[in-house]
Amino acid sequence: MAFGGVIPLYNKRNGSWLLRRVFRSREKVLIFLVCLTFLFICIGPIFFLPDLRGGLSTKVDHVYKVYKQMQKAGPELILPPPPPDSGELGPIRKHEGVYHNVVNPNDIHLTDDKQRLMEKINNDEELRNMRVIEKPVVLTVSATPVNKVNAAAGQIDESVKVLKEEEEAVESNDIRAGFQSDGGALKGGSSSMVVQGGEDADPIARQRRDKVKEMVLHAWRGYKTYAWGKNELKPISKRGHTAGIFGRQDMGATIVDALDTLYIMGLMEEFNEGRAWIQYHLDFNQLRSEMSVFETNIRFVGGLLSVFALTGDALFRDRALHIARKLLPAFDTPTGIPYGLINVANGIAKNYAWASGGSSILSEFGTLHLEFVYLSDISGDPVFREKVLRIRDVIRKTDRPGGLYPNYMNPKTGKWGQRHTSVGALGDSFYEYLIKSYIQSNCKDVVAKEMYEEAVDTITKRLVLKSHSGLTYLAESKFDRLEHKMDHLACFAGGMYALGSKTIDSENSKTHMEIAEGLSNTCHESYARTPTGLGPESFRFTEGMEARALKSSEKYYILRPEAIESWFYMWRLTKDQKYREWAWSAVLALEKYCRVEAGFSGIQNVYMETPQKDDVQQSFIFAETFKYLYLIFSDDALMSLDEWVFNTEAHPLPIEGKNAFYRKSQGSTIQLQFDKVL
Ligand code: DMJ
């Protein structure tokens, strides 16, 4: 409505109508009130409607999050899924650990998905109400007994307090074990064990190692400043980030994943900040949403076990035990093959809807052995070993099509799912854990050895190929057809072949070492053939293309370690200088393309001179990428491969009988007073 309808805008003078220039004061008040009401209507909702209350930036964030989730959910959210081409085979899309298969419309998991959506809505509400996590309390572990620090800080969280006797045990002996004045060197087994220090004789290597350490400090400070206690950092937006694998709640994944690296690098101030956070805040009783059994095991359980072995600090063992026990309901299936996801609050477990008719994934249920066996040994609780031995038994006794292990197995029937085999995504670390279990057991676990030899022989015969120009690569098999694509994830296999070749003396050892060299070289080629010097997520081999990504969804680099990991093993096992040079090129590329003011970010296209950043500092950059780089430029005695075996997240675990830090439990099973029985 115009003002002219309420207030007369014209005066009649000398018989003609003239526009009024001034208003009376009552009229002015009226105009002011109308304007005020109008303003109130426009701006009021920002303050009163709950969705907008956080201000415009929160709203934009919220919209962005929803948009991202829809993007992840894919077109199935809006469109009904297209029918599979034939049988259950369908296109697979993958994005950072999330793999989509075409959804079967009758799939019971669709109902599941709806439920998940509801849970998500509820969880969002919970997240809003979540407690604020304080900045770290800095402890000086070697000088200050744990109990006294607790008392001084006056903030023991009763729900996560370890038994008093255990804390005292820590105080009295073990915790100082890693803090020797000789830089962490301890007499153990037959050799002198080095877990800190370990400078190389070569001054260039020493300088390069210092650079890696500086990068770690830069990334850690960014995380500490902007995302402390969150799972990961968004180094450009400078805030926390959490992926679904972590259960969408703040569980400090970066802290747990980084801790052993900080320790090995001798960054004790940072290590102690992390330890304090774990002591006061790492509590899985707080979790209300689903998380990945596999990721929780390799990052949280593996990370904690590693720092327990390194330091002897019972806090870490007890947290590992606390978390692993939360995962146990996932193993309650007719076969003992665990589900991939668990809601630790209610013990309800299930599989990803996209995974071959509700199957479990080989690389997930096949990557528990190292952590679970070690956990049983240090806790005295046999349950963990029993779980992984049962898994092994089932997969060993089930016939494999063409000798290859398919990527999926149904946990209810024990039948293999789709006939896909990959040494990259969905298969990778299952193979890695066979040889590493054999190593961890000090070559006593001969079943693991046999399984490794059989699996690798078949892979060698069927999937290891050479390109036109002679590059060795690992293809994938889909229903007996080869796909000439290799994932960045599969680059770990260079290291695996090398480790196997050095560990098992057989007629194949030489060939396996050649394959190791070939694969490590091909992964390097995938880096060298990009302007950024960083490798793509997947690369292909066709008539006209070698070691290059084809689709845009294959061109990103998310700070992954696998190529560097294989160069680490090759350096240690061959001493060929070129592996150090390749690692150094990767350092320079990370600095140039991934470093930002608050840390390190992945990039979206390795083939662009000025790539967009993905704004995520993955927790594994600390656990793996930085650790392998640091160790490449260290003396071999530091974290010697004769004493330690690295889990798939690069958390070192001691080799039984060869490593004084194995710390096997002498007494009865450890009870934790903070465990909630489900
Ligand atoms: C890590 O979390 C582990 O190495 C896992 O086995 C697969 N890859 C990621 C990092 O790329």
Q: Given the CA of residue 429, which atom of ligand 1 is nearest to it? A: 6
Predicted TM-score (pTM) of this structure: 0.76
3-state SS class at 356? coil
Centre of ligand 1 from the C-alpha of residue 411, in Å: 23
Centre of ligand 1 from the C-alpha of residue 397, in Å: 27
- Please give the single-letter amino acid code of residue 430: F
Task: Decide if 537 is catalytic.
Answer: yes
Catalytic position from the list 167, 537, 554, 649:
537
d(CA 195, CA 179): 10
Centre of ligand 1 from the C-alpha of residue 424, in Å: 10
Name the band, by pLDDT with cuts 50, 70 and 90, for residue 672: confident
Residue whose CA is at the smallest distance from ligand 1 atom 3: 649
pLDDT of residue 244: 86
Mean pLDDT of 342-365: 96
Residue 542 has pLDDT above 70, yes or no: yes
Task: For a ligand 1 pocket test, name from 368, 620, 625, 628 the mutation site with the most ligand atoms within 8 angstroms of its C-beta.
Answer: 620
Centre of ligand 1 from the C-alpha of residue 533, in Å: 20
pLDDT of residue 62: 56
Residue % of the chain over a pLDDT of 70: 74
Q: Which tens digits make up the pLDDT trace of 632-654?
A: 999 999 999 999 999 999 999 99
Q: Given the CA of residue 562, which atom of ligand 1 is nearest to it? A: 11
Residue whose CA is at the smallest distance from ligand 1 atom 1: 649
d(CA 530, CA 121): 42
d(CA 326, CA 677): 9
377: which 2 tokens? 């040994």
Residue whose CA is at the smallest distance from ligand 1 atom 10: 560
Rounded-to-10 torsion of CA 598, 278, 295, 410: -160
Quick check: 324 and 379 in contact, CB under 8 A? no
Residue % of the chain over a pLDDT of 90: 69
pLDDT of residue 38: 82
pLDDT of residue 211: 98
Residue in the block written with tokens 């990945």: 292
Q: Can you give 361-399 as a three-state secondary structure string?
A: EHHHHCCCHHHHHHHHHHHCCCHHHHHHHHHHHHHHHCC
| Residues 6+ away with beta carbon under 8 Å from 218 | 595, 599, 600
Name the packing angle between helices 446-462 and 509-528 (round to 10°). Answer: 60
Residue whose CA is at the smallest distance from ligand 1 atom 8: 489
Centre of ligand 1 from the C-alpha of residue 387, in Å: 22
496-to-115, 198, 434, 633 alpha-carbon distances in Å: 40, 24, 10, 20
Mean pLDDT of 142-146: 30
495: which 2 tokens? 């290291």
Mean pLDDT of 299-307: 98
Quick check: 547 and 522 in contact, CB under 8 A? yes
Higher-confidence residue of 172 and 612: namely 612
Task: For a ligand 1 pocket test, name from 292, 364, 624 the mutation site with the most ligand atoms within 8 angstroms of its C-beta.
Answer: 624
Task: For a ligand 1 pocket test, name from 306, 429, 430, 432 the mutation site with the most ligand atoms within 8 angstroms of its C-beta.
Answer: 429
309: which 2 tokens? 């072995």
Instruction: Identify the weakest region by mean pLDDT among 1-5, 323-327, 673-677.
Output: 1-5
3-state SS class at 638? strand
pLDDT of residue 392: 98
Within 10 angstroms of residue 155's Cβ, the number of other Cβ atoms is 12
Helix H or strand E encompassing 317: helix 314-327
Q: Which tens digits make up the pLDDT trace of 61-94?
A: 555 565 556 555 444 344 444 333 333 333 333 3
Q: What order of strands is seen across the sheet that includes strand 538-542?
A: 485-487, 538-542, 545-548
Most distant CA atoms of the chain, gap in Å? 119
Q: Which tens digits make up the pLDDT trace of 551-598?
A: 999 999 999 999 999 999 999 999 999 999 999 999 999 999 999 999
pLDDT of residue 111: 52
Residue 373 has pLDDT above 50, yes or no: yes
Residue whose CA is at the smallest distance from ligand 1 atom 2: 649
Chain centroid, CA 191 distance in Å: 33
Q: In the structure, which protein residues have their CB atom closer than 6 angstroms to any atom of ligand 1?
A: 429, 489, 560-561, 620, 648-649
pLDDT of residue 41: 80
d(CA 464, CA 456): 10
Mean pLDDT of 351-367: 97
d(CA 288, CA 285): 8
In DSSP terms, 10 is beta-bridged to 19
**What contacts 24+ positions apart, CB below 8 Å, involve 534-537?**
534/586, 534/589, 534/590, 534/593, 534/594, 534/603, 534/606, 535/488, 535/491, 535/563, 535/606, 536/488, 536/606, 536/607, 537/487, 537/488
313: which 2 tokens? 């600090």
419: which 2 tokens? 């006939």
Q: Which tens digits make up the pLDDT trace of 173-210?
A: 333 333 333 334 444 444 579 999 999 999 999 999 99
Centre of ligand 1 from the C-alpha of residue 648, in Å: 6
Name the band, by pLDDT with cuts 50, 70 and 90, for residue 24: confident
Residue 31 has pLDDT above 60, yes or no: yes
* φ, ψ at 653 (rounded to 5°): -120, 145
Q: Which is it for strands 290-292 and 16-19: parallel, antiparallel or unpaired?
A: unpaired
